[in-house]
Amino acid sequence: MTSAHTPGPWTADFEEDVALFPDHTPIDAPKWGALAQVVTSIEGEGHDAKNKEGVANLHLILAAPDMLEALRAIIEFWSHGTPVFPGSLVAEEVISILARIDGENT
């Protein structure tokens, strides 16, 4: 099964001079270059520091292509009657994706 979305990896460009707005962080993808802008700081909270919630949103969006791939792998396992056991390659990939979303592997 294929998707019409832009394939990953999606990356963030934290350089201030590349953002269209000072409170945004650009998301880049290989095919498109600039794919999106994510609000990572909120006016009144200072533009010098990124807002934790905004950065968490950024990590979640960056992981979207990998999450989709992992979900497809899980469905593939289940469709053949195979459970996904802890420690399996698929389970470890899901754990890795969740760590990236939580900002642990940035």
If one counts every other C-beta atom within 10 angstroms of the C-beta of residue 71, the result is 13
User: Into how many domains does the chain fold?
Assistant: 2
For 68-100, the pLDDT digits (tens) are: 888 888 888 888 888 778 888 888 888 888 888
When mean pLDDT is compared across 13-17, 21-25, 93-97, the lowest value belongs to 13-17
- What would you report as the CA-atom Rg of the chain, rounded to the nearest whole angstrom? 16
In a domain, 55, yes or no: no
The CA distance from 58 to 84, in Å, is: 28
Task: List, in sequence order, every residue forming a beta bridge with 34; answer none if it has no partner.
Answer: 28
* pTM (two decimals): 0.74
Q: Provide, rounded to the nearest whole percent, the portion of the chain with pLDDT above 90.
A: 10
Angle subtended by helix axes 52-62 and 64-79, to nearest 10? 50
Residue 72 and residue 45 share a domain: no
Please give the sequence-ordered ranges of beta strands (E in DSSP) within 3-105, or none if there are none.
11-12, 24-29, 33-39
> Which residues span the domain enclosing 35?
1-49
Do residues 68 and 105 both lie within one domain?
Answer: yes
The verdict on 68 and 40 lying in the same domain is no
Answer whether residue 54 is part of any domain. no
CB 63 within 8 A of CB 96: no
